[in-house]
């Protein structure tokens, strides 16, 4: 997804770098924002943190609305070059809310650094770190939310499941939905569903990549060249996904539309049903869900 550098360029002079002191981070009930402080502090400028910044800029957030905290000097230099006008720092500062986009092993340090600011709205995208654990490291008055995005977020085509902690209010949830909405669709779930979300949409892109690999190999076995087979398989998976998303039709209807009685697709689908594709996918989601539970325990 391209970064909207046009809208970014117009406000580079007001990047907020001069206003680096700790200002009040409001989480009042009216949902409005305080213009003098950034709207989001992205803690961790890696793959997901960078994707969020890219998505927010493409969604016409001003660079001055975004601050990225990243310990690696090389990564900071790269982020500053990628996102002109976005402040990239070593330590958190006040903002309307913080997104924790660090590895789970760095969760406590990241929480404690945010607790040292006046930021009291915190959205974690870390796998397996519970609201209870996050709350134990954050300031007592923090509103905590958790989300599980997936890798297509890096191209603005993710889907995230959002779970609100008990102290998160309507405006906190709206803020989190706006942030996550910049990199794709957002669904709301209770926190206890996040392991199943991980098993389905978190790990799901890898299932689809495996299916794509298998189709590439199958095309070659059927006599196509590796390059032709790869282009056909990748184009088919990408196109089918886009058709699903853009048509709004349920998958079973789209499948029925391309399956003529006695035709080629029916012959192929029959083999997939007989060989247990549905059962295999169901077992994969169960296994990934259980593994997510184990890792978070």
Work out the angle between the directed axes of helices 47-58 and 73-82 (0-180°, nearest 10): 20
- Give the Å distances, CA to CA, from 121 to 36, 78, 139, 174, 217: 17, 27, 10, 11, 48
- Tell whether residue 72 is a contact of ligand NAP (CB under 6 A): yes
The answer to whether the CB of 191 falls within 8 A of the CB of 130 is yes
- Give the Å distances, CA to CA, from 247 to 64, 113, 131, 152, 275: 36, 44, 36, 19, 29
The least CB distance from residue 258 to ligand NAP, in Å, is 31
Which C-beta is closer to ligand NAP: that of 146 or that of 230?
146
Which C-beta is closer to ligand NAP: that of 111 or that of 233?
111
Q: Which region, judged by CB under 6 A, interacts with ligand NAP, from 70-78, 210-218, 253-261, 267-275?
A: 70-78
- Tell whether residue 40 is a contact of ligand NAP (CB under 6 A): no
Residue in 10, 28, 31, 71 binding ligand NAP, rule: CB under 6 A: 71
The least CB distance from residue 204 to ligand NAP, in Å, is 11
* Residues in 230-249 at the binding interface with ligand NAP, rule: CB under 6 A: none
Q: Which residues of 153-182 are buried (b: 16+ CB within 10 A; e: fewer)?
A: bbebbbbbbbbbbebbeebbbebbbbbbbb
SS3 content of the chain, % helix, strand, coil (to 5): 55, 10, 35
- Tell whether residue 77 is a contact of ligand NAP (CB under 6 A): no
Q: Which region, judged by CB under 6 A, interacts with ligand NAP, from 38-46, 77-85, 237-245, 284-292?
A: 38-46
Residue in 40, 56, 86, 127 binding ligand NAP, rule: CB under 6 A: 127
What is the C-alpha to C-alpha distance for residues 101 and 124, in angstroms, rounded to an integer? 7
CB nearest ligand NAP: which residue?
Answer: 46
The least CB distance from residue 128 to ligand NAP, in Å, is 7
What is the C-alpha to C-alpha distance for residues 295 and 297, in angstroms, rounded to an integer? 6
Which C-beta is closer to ligand NAP: that of 90 or that of 264?
90
The answer to whether the CB of 146 falls within 8 A of the CB of 163 is yes
Q: Which region, judged by CB under 6 A, interacts with ligand NAP, from 108-116, 189-197, 220-228, 249-257?
A: 108-116
Number of chain positions touching ligand NAP (CB under 6 A): 28
- Tell whether residue 44 is a contact of ligand NAP (CB under 6 A): yes
């Amino acid at each position: 997804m391209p970064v909207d550098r046009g809208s970014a360029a117009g406000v580079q002079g007001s990047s907020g770098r001069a206003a680096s002191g700790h200002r009040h981070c409001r989480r009042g009930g009216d949902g409005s924002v305080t213009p003098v402080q950034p709207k989001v502090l992205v803690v961790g400028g890696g793959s997901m943190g960078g994707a969020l910044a890219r998505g927010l800029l493409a969604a016409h957030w001003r660079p001055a609305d975004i601050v990225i905290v990243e310990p690696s000097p090389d990564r900071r230099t790269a982020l500053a070059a990628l996102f002109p006008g976005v402040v990239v720092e070593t330590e958190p500062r006040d903002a309307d809310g913080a997104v924790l986009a660090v590895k789970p092993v760095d969760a406590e340090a990241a929480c404690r650094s945010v607790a040292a600011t006046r930021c009291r709205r915190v959205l974690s995208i870390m796998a397996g770190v519970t609201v209870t654990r996050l709350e134990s490291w954050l300031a007592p008055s923090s509103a905590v939310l958790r989300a599980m995005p997936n890798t297509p977020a890096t191209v603005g085509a993710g889907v995230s499941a959002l779970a609100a902690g008990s102290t998160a209010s309507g405006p906190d949830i709206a803020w989190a939905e706006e942030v996550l909405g910049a990199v794709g669709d957002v669904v709301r779930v209770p926190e206890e569903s996040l392991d199943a979300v991980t098993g389905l949409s978190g790990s799901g892109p890898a299932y689809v990549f495996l299916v794509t690999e298998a189709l590439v190999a199958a095309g070659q076995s059927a006599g196509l060249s590796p390059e032709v087979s790869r282009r056909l398989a990748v184009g088919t998976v990408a196109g089918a996904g886009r058709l699903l998303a853009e048509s709004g039709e349920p998958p079973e209807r789209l499948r029925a539309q391309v399956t003529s009685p006695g035709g080629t697709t029916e012959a192929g689908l029959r083999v997939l049903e007989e060989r247990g594709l549905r059962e295999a996918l169901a077992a994969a989601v169960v296994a990934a869900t259980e593994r997510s539970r184990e890792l978070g325990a």
